[in-house]
A and B are shown apart, each in its own frame.
Chain A
Amino acid sequence: MNINNYFKNCRVSVIESAHKDAVLDHQQPIHTETGKMTQKLATAALVLAASVGSASAEKIKFEYWYGLTGDLGAVVAETCNRFNASQDQYEAVCVGQDGYEKAVQNTIAAFRAGKQPTILQAFDAGTADLMLSGEFYPVTKLMADTGVKIDWADYFPGIANYYSSKSGEFFSMPWNSSTPVYYFNKDQFAKAGITEAPITWEGLEAVLVKLKASGQGCGLAYAPSSWIDLEQFSMANNVPVASNNNGYDGLDTTLLFNTTLHVKHMQNMQRWITEGLAKLRTQASGKTARDSFLEGECSVFFSSIADHNTISKLKPTFAWDVQIIPTYEGVERKNTVVGGASLWVLSGKTDDEYKAAASYLAFLATKPEQQFLLENSGYIPVTKSTYAALKAEGFYSKEPYINRDIAMKSLTWTEPTALTRGIRLGNFIQIRAEWQAEVEAALAGQKTMQEALDTAVARGNELLARFAQTYPGKSFP
């Protein structure tokens, strides 16, 4: 059947239509008297409107899109309510976007349509593109321009460095910050005769051996995580993840993690699984590491300090505590860096909106507001003064906050070095995914760990080259 057959015997008539745009002259002569009358009325209306306006003092509104969900999302919404109740000049309109990734995705879509919010809560890995686009208002500049005073030196260096440019200007406002730790079951440790939670990997291995000997079926509940096993591990052990000081010094960066201590570490994880010291516990395998820990099935698991609050709330039936992530013996330990998200102010908004946004960000940085966040989540204080004040008040010696500030110890172990400022890599989300898929393949016995990491690096390097090609001639500010 040929579609042309249908038309073979048809007489095709082409209708030609010529459109002539009749341009109408809309200008009408204004009758002088009516004109005057109208003018008077208009003036009266304007005066009236102005007086009504000043009486009800229209608030300046701005939008804030955040990624946190569930209980934490409710905490964000509550900070907005608290801000709106604290003053009557500005109104924060806060909209949850169902996850960090979606928050950034939706903001990009909105931005391209010119409808972006004033503030965006964005997670670290998703901000390389934003940094290079320049479509944001660095908060240091915002505060200076709007006359809002913030003591930038008060921020912990490990946090400040992560969110600022080479010249020390803050891009975004640190807010919900965390760092990884490990959680351990004190009762099971005691039963195995372990008195101290080690801070070296060798020490942890000894602990896992003792746990196994004591009849504990699962020592470590292991879930491969690029954030913990690769990024924070490399910080603490002072080894590079990538060249150019982890990407800070240029876009022509290549990954290095297949040549560092990271390889040995991942091989150890694999060996621990084979030797029965650790068990894989992921969502896909049916039970997360945290659930295995909570049920008492496994004695140790690694996660963000933000989980401290979740675990306290779920009230495990055993005694538990947290410890900083280990380093290898013989390594000079360095600081870890923050995870979580920060608040970005986007370009293209009005001066009034910027004033409102600055006021909200300054509000969040105050001690009572930081404390509000800490009490309702597992996050950590971001300023030295707030941390000192909380400590002085005995905040961290009360349940359920006891020892939660161990995260601060990890974060402030040393001053950040060139390798422990953080990581600036383009296409980082995809690089993390490459690492994850390759490591999973190695753990399933499809290839050796070295092969897996080599592949992840090779593929990651292609992603980095592609990113550099997307932003020719640019570099991270």
Chain B
Amino acid sequence: MRRACFKFSWIAAALLAPQLLIIFVFFYWPSAQALYWAFTLEQPWGGGNTWVGLENFRKVLSDPYYWSSVRVSVIYALATTVLAMSMALTLAVFVDRQLAGYRAYRVAIIWPYAVAAPAVGLAFQFVFNPGAGIFSYINAVAPGWWDLSRYPWQAVTAIVIAGAWKQVAYSFIFFLAALQSIPRSLTEAAAMDGARPLRRVLDLQLPLLTPTFFFLLVINITDSFTDSFGIVDTLTGGGPFRATDLMVYRIYADGFRGFDYSGAAAQSIILMLLVMALTFVQFRYVERRVHYT
């Protein structure tokens, strides 16, 4: 391992200052505020608050609907991550093999990342609408079979697909870059040894991709916990009967819609701890299997 030594430098500090200031203003300060609110009952229009200790946390954690919200959030995070990363990897492998029209694909696949989550939700609202959308053709064959307002599993599937679609682009860019940094000579050598494309992907490219894989896993999981709000809000609104009430959506509903700032703050702290714990687990256990070259 390399050892690095840094001497304190005013120039370095000055260059760092704007970034640190931004992190302070937009992360540490609000987080500290949320932490404080989580232990109080805050009146939305100001005018004081009441210290309640762990009451907010007790209330949230003793709510059976909160636990179903945690469960569906975990399902959503895992499902979108697996789906998004496998689609991204498949597409990246195809583009890397320079199949016909790969330049066009490369640009086209990157675009979805620039689409805002609510817009994705709206687009998929059309796709999944049981009455007028693309999925309404299913209902033409089997009336009433596809109905987001009745069947929780369908609503969850819908947000998972929409969420994964949005995340494919990001993972794709990283996978493609990683694939292209694998020396051609390795692939060619494997090909000369008689390995077919699928075998080369499994035995050669995937092992070399593990650092990228790990990075994307962490980013995707974090992202699906914290950035799913827009899709849920436009696509299902948390329904039917709370089936898609993801943790981050609940925070919005309680805090902004219901003006329960303290309850929302407590939930934010729990979500933050959960994401931190998951990231820790990933670094502790998954990263062991990653080989940096």
A interface residue numbers (CB < 8 A to B): 1, 5-11, 13, 15, 101, 104-105, 108, 111-112, 126, 129-130, 132-135, 280, 282, 284-287, 427, 429-430, 433, 437-438, 440-441, 444, 446, 462-463, 466, 469-472
Contact = CB atoms under 8 A, between A and B. Distances in A.
Contacts of A130: 45
10 contacts: A5-B1, A10-B5, A13-B7, A108-B259, A284-B148, A285-B130, A286-B133, A440-B240, A470-B42, A470-B50
Interface string B240-279: 1110000000000110111110110000000000000000
Given A10-B5, A437-B239, A427 B260 contact: yes
Interface residues of B, number: 43
B169 to A, nearest CB: 28
Nearest to B262: A470
Interface string B159-196: 00000000000000000000000000000000000000
Contact of B3 (A8, A111, A437): A8
Contacts of B228: none
Contact of A429 (B52, B132, B237, B259): B259
B241 A440 contact: yes
A457 to B, nearest CB: 15
A470 to B, nearest CB: 4
Contact of A129 (B43, B50, B131): B43
A108 B260 CA distance: 12
Contact of B149 (A129, A135, A280, A446): A280
A135 B46 CA distance: 9
Name B's interface SS. loop
Contact of A9 (B5, B49, B239): B5
Nearest to A133: B45
A458 to B, nearest CB: 11
Contact of A470 (B8, B43, B150): B43
Contact of B258 (A5, A6, A9, A430): A430
A135 B43 CA distance: 12
B241 A441 contact: yes
Contacts of A466: 41, 59, 260, 263
Contacts of B260: 427, 430, 463, 466
Nearest to B136: A286
B80 interface: no
Nearest to B236: A284
Interface of B: 1, 3-8, 41-47, 49-50, 52, 59, 129-133, 136, 147-150, 236-237, 239-242, 253-254, 256-260, 262-263
A286 B138 CA distance: 13
A437 B65 CA distance: 11
A450 B47 CA distance: 39
A134 B47 contact: yes
Contact of B50 (A15, A101, A111, A469): A469
Nearest to B5: A10
A285 B5 contact: no
Contact of B257 (A286, A429, A437): A429
A429 B41 contact: no
A472 B50 CA distance: 8
B46 A111 contact: yes
B241 A129 contact: no
A280 B117 CA distance: 29
Contact of B253 (A6, A286, A433): A433
Contacts of A427: 258-260
A466 B149 CA distance: 31
A324 to B, nearest CB: 29
Given A6-B4, A430-B258, A440-B239, 4 more contacts: A129-B259, A286-B129, A441-B240, A466-B263
Given A108-B259, A130-B45, A284 B240 contact: yes
Contacts of A15: 8
B45 A135 contact: yes
Contacts of A444: 150, 240-241
A9 B136 CA distance: 67
B131 A287 contact: yes
Given A429-B259, A444-B150, A285 B131 contact: yes
B149 A282 contact: yes
Nearest to B56: A466
A286 B131 contact: yes
Q: Which 9 A-B pairs give the minimum distances between C-beta atoms?
A: A286-B131, A133-B45, A284-B149, A441-B241, A286-B130, A430-B258, A285-B149, A470-B41, A10-B5
B5 A438 contact: no
Given A9-B3, A430-B254, A284 B239 contact: yes
A464 to B, nearest CB: 12
Contacts of B258: 427, 429-430, 433
Given A111-B45, A133-B43, A440-B240, A285 B259 contact: no
Nearest to B8: A15
B52 A13 contact: no
A189 B131 CA distance: 26
